């Protein structure tokens, strides 16, 4: 079943199993199978006429009546009330755990098959909780494989199913949608989703530690990419304060991974590496290979910032190997950009270029069609696509091809401006300005420098509203 059909199932109700007519038909069928008369089924608490009215679907039976009838018919109350065996929901939940394990250790498309099948069963039996869990799992599969629009649709469908639930129950779906927007390159909208949810939780007094930790951790990446480092650091502080009140080790591991990014920005390299080591150990214990790969990836970045390029390359290659074996396409492409940066800095520009070109060439040939093409572009990994163009520009400059360098810098500038990635824009404007100045175009160079200074002056402040209220700890 395609994602469109999966989501469509969640927008159509169909026949409800707790409809009086459906309950009446079940009572009639079960009574016939057991050879009971209406009187035998009804006595001693009810009359044959009541059973007749119930079987015709003209009355909604009370819980007391259903429990009486279930006992006489030899079935559970749940089976008579809903039409599903008592063990069905428990069995589905066990299989959802298996599907989650398949996603953690294997390829996302294989796990997606399991989640779709479970979703169909949950819809058929009107199991709302299991239906939502299947959609969330499917959304995570689609994030890993880079199908970002479909992932966003799955998370939105899960959110609709939870519309009447307390807001903390909806937070995983909201976080999923925000992550899909982040990976697409819509950084501001990702921040808006996370911040507005934090404000709504605070206004309602719903200071659920797990929901808050999930939101604060998720907000660190878009803040950092937008250059809002102070806001990212504040989110990290709040996440650290919440961690002792959270029992889910996967959430705590994610927090450590997110916090490490703010520590790197502050130059606290040893602390960042220690935070990543904690996350890595938790992910090993949980056998979550994708997140383990992200820890290798981030440790590679830490070593690169610290100047240890040999160790950085080892960590990034380890991350790439895990992600490629899981067929996590988008994340594999993103880590290849960072590996290419290390290779260039190690003097292996040809290797770096060979790694980068396949990530962008198809997108160029297809007119910049991003998502779904299997390459980085405007709708799929835009920040890393900008980074790839920047690296190719540097490589072109180093070999004296200023025309190609300028083309790549301009392509990077377009991608990063659309995604509001202020953190990288200032440096890119400096590179472009230097190139233009060296080729005698002083006015154009000054324009590039002014643009860069505008992004550098107050990173993040022109694109974000007031920070969310701090919850009571």
Q: Summarize pLDDT for 80-89 with one digit per residue, the tens.
A: 888 877 678 8
User: What is the spatial distance between Cα 336 and Cα 354, in angstroms, rounded to a whole number?
Assistant: 11
Lowest mean pLDDT among 240-249, 271-280, 303-312, 445-454: 445-454
pLDDT at 254 over 80: yes
Average pLDDT over every residue of 294-301: 94
Predicted confidence at residue 319, as pLDDT, reads: 96
Predicted confidence at residue 8, as pLDDT, reads: 58
Predicted confidence at residue 362, as pLDDT, reads: 55
Tokens representing 194 are 């996370």
Predicted confidence at residue 460, as pLDDT, reads: 40
Lowest mean pLDDT among 170-179, 252-261, 417-426, 452-461: 452-461
Predicted confidence at residue 451, as pLDDT, reads: 86
Q: What percent of the chain clears pLDDT 70, i.e. is strictly above it?
A: 91
Average pLDDT over every residue of 210-218: 97
Is the Cα torsion angle 250, 255, 256, 261 positive or negative in sign? positive
Predicted confidence at residue 459, as pLDDT, reads: 43
Average pLDDT over every residue of 41-59: 93
pLDDT, tens digit (0-9, with 9 covering 90-100), for 379-419: 899 999 999 999 999 999 999 999 999 999 999 999 998 88
pLDDT, tens digit (0-9, with 9 covering 90-100), for 416-472: 988 888 778 888 999 999 999 999 999 999 999 998 887 654 444 334 566 777 777
Average pLDDT over every residue of 225-242: 93
Predicted confidence at residue 455, as pLDDT, reads: 67
Nearest to 81 by CA among 35, 36, 19: 19
Lowest mean pLDDT among 5-19, 185-199, 266-280: 5-19
Mean pLDDT (the chain, rounded): 89
Q: At what angle do helices 209-226 and 249-265 cross, to 10 degrees?
A: 30
pLDDT at 1 over 80: no
Predicted confidence at residue 472, as pLDDT, reads: 74
Predicted confidence at residue 180, as pLDDT, reads: 96
Peptide bond into 23 cis (omega under 30): no
Predicted confidence at residue 187, as pLDDT, reads: 92
| CB distance 155 to 140 below 8 Å | no
Concatenating the DSSP letter of every residue in 330-395 gives HHHHHHHHHHHHHHHHTT-HHHHHHHHHHHHHHHHHTTT--TTTTS-BTTBSHHHHHHHHHHHHHH
Average pLDDT over every residue of 36-53: 93
SS3 label, residue 266: coil
Q: pTM above the 0.85 mark?
A: no
Average pLDDT over every residue of 211-234: 94
Q: Which residue has the higher pLDDT, 135 or 465?
A: 135
Residue 377 phi, psi (nearest 5): -175, -165
């Amino acid at each position: 079943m395609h994602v469109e059909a999966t989501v469509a199932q969640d927008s159509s109700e169909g026949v409800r199993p707790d409809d009086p007519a459906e309950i009446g038909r079940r009572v009639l069928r079960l009574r016939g199978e057991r050879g009971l008369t209406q009187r035998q089924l009804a006595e001693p608490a009810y009359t044959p006429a009541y059973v007749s009215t119930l079987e015709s679907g003209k009355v909604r039976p009370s819980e007391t009546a259903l429990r009486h009838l279930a006992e006489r018919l030899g079935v559970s109350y749940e089976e008579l009330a809903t039409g599903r065996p008592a063990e069905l929901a428990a069995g589905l939940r066990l299989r959802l755990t298996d599907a989650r394990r398949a996603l953690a250790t294997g390829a996302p498309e294989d796990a997606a098959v399991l989640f779709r099948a479970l979703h169909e069963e949950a819809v058929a039996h009107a199991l709302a909780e299991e239906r939502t869990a299947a959609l969330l799992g499917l959304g995570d599969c689609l994030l890993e494989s880079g199908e970002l629009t479909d992932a966003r649709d799955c998370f939105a469908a899960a959110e609709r199913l939870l519309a009447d639930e307390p807001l903390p129950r909806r937070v995983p779906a909201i976080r999923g949608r925000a992550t899909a927007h982040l990976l697409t390159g819509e950084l501001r909208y990702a921040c808006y989703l996370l911040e507005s949810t934090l404000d709504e939780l605070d206004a309602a007094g719903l200071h659920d530690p797990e929901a808050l930790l999930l939101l604060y951790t998720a907000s660190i990446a878009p803040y950092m990419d937008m250059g809002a480092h102070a806001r990212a650091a504040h989110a990290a502080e709040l996440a650290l304060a919440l961690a002792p009140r959270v029992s889910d080790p996967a959430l705590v591991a994610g927090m450590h991974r997110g916090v490490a990014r703010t520590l790197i920005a502050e130059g606290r390299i040893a602390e960042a590496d220690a935070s990543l080591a904690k996350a890595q150990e938790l992910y090993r214990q949980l056998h979550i290979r994708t997140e383990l790969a992200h820890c290798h990836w981030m440790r590679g970045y830490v070593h690169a910032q610290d100047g240890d390029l040999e160790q950085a390359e080892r960590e990034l290659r380890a991350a790439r190997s895990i992600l490629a074996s899981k067929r996590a396409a988008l994340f594999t492409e993103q880590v290849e950009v960072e590996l290419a940066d290390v290779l260039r800095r190690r003097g292996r520009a040809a290797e770096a270029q060979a790694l980068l070109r396949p990530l962008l060439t198809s997108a160029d040939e297809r007119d910049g069609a991003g998502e779904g093409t299997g390459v980085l572009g405007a709708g799929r990994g835009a920040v890393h696509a900008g980074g790839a163009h920047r690296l190719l520009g540097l490589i072109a400059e180093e070999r004296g091809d200023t025309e190609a360098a300028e083309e790549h810098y301009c392509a990077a500038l377009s991608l990063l401006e659309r995604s509001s990635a202020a953190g990288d824009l200032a440096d890119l404007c400096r590179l472009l300005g230097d190139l233009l100045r060296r080729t005698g175009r002083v006015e154009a160079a000054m324009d590039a420098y002014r643009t860069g200074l505008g992004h550098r002056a107050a990173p993040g402040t022109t694109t974000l509203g007031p920070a969310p209220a701090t919850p009571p700890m």
